[in-house]
Amino acid sequence: MLPNSDNNNKKNFKMMVISSSILLALFIYTMFKSSSSIEGSSYYIGMVFLFALMLFAFGLNYFREKLKKYLPKNSSFQEAMNEVKPEQTVKYAQDNSSSVVEVTKSDIKFRDVAGIENTKAELSEIVDFLNNPKKYLKYGVKLPKGVLLVGPPGVGKTLIARAVAGEANVPFFYQSGASFVHIYVGMGAKKVRELFAKAKSVAPSVIFIDEIDAIGKKRTGQNNDERESTLNELLTCMDGFDGDNSVVVIAATNKIEVLDDALLRAGRFDRRVFLKLPSTKDREDILKLYLKGKKYSFDLANLAHQTVGFNSSALATLVNESLLNMIKRGDTSITDEDIMSAKQKVEYGSNEQKFLTDEELEILAISKAVKKFMSSYQENINKTIKSKSEMTDIIKYYLCGSIGVETIKKEPYNIDDMDIAKAYQLALLMKEQYKMIADVDSFISAIKIDLKEEISNHYDEIMDIKAKLEASGEVL
């Protein structure tokens, strides 16, 4: 039983005693005040009833722990648990100190998240289990202990976890991995214990740990620092309940390669869901969701093609900035002008435009023109399984803007730094994880040489694209 429930029982018992005492006092007062008017047995029956009521109240309080197991549960999930495994219980030590773990109710549903149809299909089983446990438990099916969401930042991992809790209509606990990292020894482990104890007390429930790599990195065994003790406690708590219990742990990371093997083994995070940047169709669906109920006059499909590399968070910001620009203009419908202004803010920052010289605008135009020319490579970004040549083409696309400017302007410029970082990260992945290449620097250098030759051979086509971009105002 919850602590609040015990307090309520104590308050109710006190009220019953007080009420009975007052009524008893009234009867005694009546007896001494006007005993001559009391006739028959009604008075004595009332007295016996009051004494019986008091004894009943004392009995309920004394035997309440034994009586609890015969009372119906509020949760249909817990009722199903008791029917299938009535003797199985899980206990966690609770600390008496004030809690810093908060529980919320999520109002996000799957309909509020677009562009992740495959992910919804995988997680809908967990939602159905939480809503209809008997359907699975009668066959001995166990709920996955943990679900690991893997994907780049901004693809909606937190939103998806909230949607699971919202669809199942269960309490939602959110914690970031960094929140468990404390300078005081033992505090992180204590917070993990408290989190699992509270989630269990209001089960069925969902725990979401964002950026789990902050505490879940591979253990070296050379020291026993606070992070490692916190990870050990997390592993212990996840082992403390079976898959047919009512707590689901969802964690998110964009660095699965750094996680400790103990976290990834079967029996902990049993299910892994890989998320990727949205495809053109996904981006169109996401934009439709964010633009629902809003007036607009631009080509939605064309915008979806122009926002390659945008994650769902960037698309949400794009729509919001467009609306702000629309309001600033005093209009009621989003136009291409609003979209272009918002896109410039998302990609380059709100104050970039006022500081750009004519030369800087030309450099931006060259970079965008080269990317548009090389756009045939961009759809490889959204593939789940890629060949070495496809991954090489993705790196070409990431590097083509900066290399195009370097080739045409005859010297390198500090442009497209985020794309360059993505190119090197992917090359490192090809070397370290997939063993496709021997050396990152030599591989990137060879790609740059190929790019310079390709850009030089198609110089006229690229400059035609640049001129069209400048004429249409799409440079910014």
Interval 61-79: pLDDT, tens = 666 655 555 555 445 555 5
Range of weakest confidence among 6-20, 149-163, 221-235, 317-331: 6-20
Query: pLDDT-based confidence at 60, cuts 50/70/90?
Result: low
201-205, 398-402, 425-429: segment of lowest average pLDDT:
201-205
The residue ranking higher by pLDDT, 36 or 123, is 123
The larger pLDDT score, comparing residue 279 to residue 448, is at: 448
Q: What is the CATH number of domain 103-274?
A: 3.40.50.300
Residue 360 a catalytic site member: yes
Spans of all domains in the chain: 3-71, 103-274, 280-351, 358-472
Looking at residue 302, what is its pLDDT?
87
Q: CATH code for 280-351?
A: 1.10.8.60
The 10s digit of each residue's pLDDT in 375-425 is 877 777 777 788 999 999 999 999 999 999 999 999 999 888 888 988 998
> pLDDT tens-digit profile of 179-196?
777 655 567 788 888 888
Higher-scoring residue by pLDDT: 330, 7 = 330
pLDDT number for residue 348: 64
Q: What φ, ψ does residue 274 adopt, rounded to 5°?
A: -95, 125
Lowest-pLDDT choice from 6-15, 81-90, 140-149, 272-281: 81-90
> Cβ(118)–Cβ(78) under 8 Å?
no
Comparing 94-98, 136-140, 357-361, 420-424, the range with the smallest average pLDDT is: 94-98
Tell me the mean pLDDT in the region 223-240: 77
pLDDT over 90, % of the chain: 23
With cut-offs at 50, 70 and 90, classify the pLDDT of residue 323.
Answer: very high
Residue 129: the pLDDT is 84
pLDDT at 210 over 80: yes
The pLDDT value given to residue 375: 83
One of 360, 432, 453, 461 is an active-site residue; which one? 360
Take residue 185 and report the two structure tokens written for it: 């020894």
On the question of pLDDT at 36 being above 80, the answer is: no
Q: Tell me, what's the pLDDT at 383?
A: 75
Q: Which residue has the higher pLDDT, 330 or 141?
A: 330
> Contact, 150 vs 253, CB < 8 A?
yes
Q: How confident is the model at residue 2 (pLDDT cuts 50, 70, 90)?
A: very low
Give the mean model confidence (pLDDT) for residues 220-237.
Answer: 75
The pLDDT of residue 98 is 46
- What pLDDT, on a 0 to 100 scale, did the predictor assign at position 97? 42
Model confidence at 22, pLDDT cuts 50, 70, 90, reads low
Mean pLDDT within 161-172:
90
pLDDT tens digits, 82-118: 554 443 333 433 444 445 567 788 888 888 888 888 8
Q: Is the pLDDT of residue 453 over 80?
A: yes
User: For all residues of the chain together, what is the average pLDDT?
Assistant: 79
**What's the CA gap between 372 and 200, in Å, rounded?**
53
